[in-house]
Structure 1
């Protein structure tokens, strides 16, 4: 195998392509949420002002809130709009799953064949995934997207109703109070947006990774496993740095990083001798040495921004190593993933 600049450029391009696809989703989702809140906010604000204008002794009780027909109608409208947004988000994200799957299958092929010498056309032949395999991945991912989106609308409205469940203290300036409440209601409404964008980024990326996994498994005659490859920049977390360069079996899904993770799966081919190429010296890149050199050349401030002061101090003192920074956790509603080890757990070692 040979991990050349061309291979790393393909890897970066595949990450960039799925990132751009997710960014387009986020832009569409943000626009939908903003438009929805704009359509709800005026009636919600007027209903609040009307209710507080009738307050006795500077307070609106929880009972009065529950009996305020105009406010309850505004909340019901928000509930209906939240459900419409949930369905919109699920359908919109699902529409891009096939593209993400095609990205994954293509990246697997391009990353693997780029590691072979020019005369490789005379030896192993890449076996593409058939249409049934791609369709099955799309179907599974689409089902997961719709399942993940179900709590979205419920949580949005539950938060808004909870905000008003204890009544309202109107204070000396009801207009100021109304503005504060509206900001909090908007925050709860936009909580659904945060979840929707997380679903978009995570599920599209995982669809790409699943296709890459299946493509690798379909080409065991060439691929023997894969390397966890982190994005080495100032936004990387210590968990991903800890996993960078680790080898994984061809049958293992991954990288199983945290939500919104940006790590990539770099196929590892069999040795050139095993593939039938004789007289060519094999290469075995030192990915973790690459990470160590990259990190050591960062400024102190950037190292601190990535690790945090406590982790950096433990690391510089030799009390913890890269492996200590990552912890695999089970997620009943999603999948196992690697997260940053909490500082309190590091200090306890």
Structure 2
């Protein structure tokens, strides 16, 4: 494999393009939730003041009283309808963009892989690359649609349950119903926006996973040239220790990836076979994939501290561990298995 500056540039350009589609989808979802809360705000404000004023002995009204409070029930009903609409909007918005994310795979990966081939042979070999056929693309979109439909239905139920729990749990009213009503309004808004948080996670998860699955299919379809993929992280102060640790690792052609955490910025770079494996008796230049440890060691101390934190940085300085120790696989409900930063306590236990 001859990863070079052009390979890295093309890989980062693909990630920027995918992120642009994902970010646009997330923005549309955020805006829809914000508009919905603006419409509900006044209704909830009046309802919370009614309930605060109906308190007895400074305690929030009982579930029985809340169930008979017309304004509270009207606010709750309006919010339930709104959440269902928002969940449906979330699903439709994601599905509309998934096609763009999948369609970006073919031309982009072809360019990235071709950039690693002998210059005089690139065009000839690239012309033989297999494309994802329409049936495969349709299957990927349909799979994503089914997952999103299931996820958004669950999102709706969870958001509605959380709103009800917040309303019944209440607050201590004390001698100032107005303060209690304001606090309850804040909590209700927080519960409402909890649904937004889940919607954003669904959007990022499913769009990135659709892209990852399409990329896996493309690599497998071009196994005569492609040998697998290499993990490319953004080696800067915003990147977590886990992604620093995974950077540069090579993975099997059929392995889906990168399995980075939520909000991760990593890329799977399709990697060509060596020139000799491809039948060319030509000296191949060394890979220009940056060495994570060398890049980290050259960073300003304040940036190293921002990435690692004081405990991990001291362990690195003392030679007690190296970058590969800083990542571990974790299962997270609502998210695929992903590589995350190893907790400090686990690192200390390993050293001990």
Partner of 2:81: 80
1:268-287 residue pairs with structure 2 within 5 A? 268-278=271-281, 280-285=282-287, 287=289
1:103-142 residue pairs with structure 2 within 5 A? 103-120=104-121, 121-123=123-125, 125-142=128-145
Contact 2:205/2:335, CA 8 A, preserved across alignment: no
Mark the runs of 5 or more structure 2 residues left unpaired by the alignment. Answer: none
1:1-349 residue pairs with structure 2 within 5 A? 1-62=1-62, 63-120=64-121, 121-123=123-125, 125-278=128-281, 280-285=282-287, 287=289, 290-331=291-332, 333-349=334-350
CA distance in structure 1 between the aligned counterparts of 2:293 and 2:84, rounded to whole angstroms:
48
Contact 1:104/1:207, CA 8 A, preserved across alignment: no
SS class of match (1:330): strand
Change beyond 3 A, Cα 1:273–1:189: same
CA distance in structure 2 between the aligned counterparts of 1:118 and 1:285, rounded to whole angstroms:
15
How far did 1:142 drift? Answer: 1.8
CA distance in structure 1 between the aligned counterparts of 2:235 and 2:28, rounded to whole angstroms:
29
TM score, norm. by length of structure 2: 0.93
CA distance in structure 2 between the aligned counterparts of 1:169 and 1:329, rounded to whole angstroms:
39
CA distance in structure 2 between the aligned counterparts of 1:167 and 1:323, rounded to whole angstroms:
47
CA distance in structure 1 between the aligned counterparts of 2:345 and 2:69, rounded to whole angstroms:
48
How far did 1:190 drift? Answer: 0.5
How far did 1:150 drift? Answer: 2.5
Contact 1:170/1:177, CA 8 A, preserved across alignment: yes
TM score, norm. by length of structure 1: 0.94
CA distance in structure 2 between the aligned counterparts of 1:188 and 1:325, rounded to whole angstroms:
34
Change beyond 3 A, Cα 1:71–1:229: same
SS class of match (1:346): helix
CA distance in structure 2 between the aligned counterparts of 1:248 and 1:88, rounded to whole angstroms:
37
CA distance in structure 2 between the aligned counterparts of 1:132 and 1:145, rounded to whole angstroms:
20
Change beyond 3 A, Cα 1:123–1:89: closer
SS class of match (2:328): strand
Q: What is the CA deviation profile of residues 119-163 of structure 1, one whole-angstrom value per residue up to 9, with x for unaligned ones?
A: 223446211111111111111122222222222122222222222
How far did 1:6 drift? Answer: 1.5
Q: What is the CA deviation profile of residues 265-299 of structure 1, one whole-angstrom value per residue up to 9, with x for unaligned ones?
A: 11111111222322x21234264x62112111222
Count of matched residue positions in the alignment of Structure 1 and Structure 2: 347
CA distance in structure 1 between the aligned counterparts of 2:346 and 2:285, rounded to whole angstroms:
37
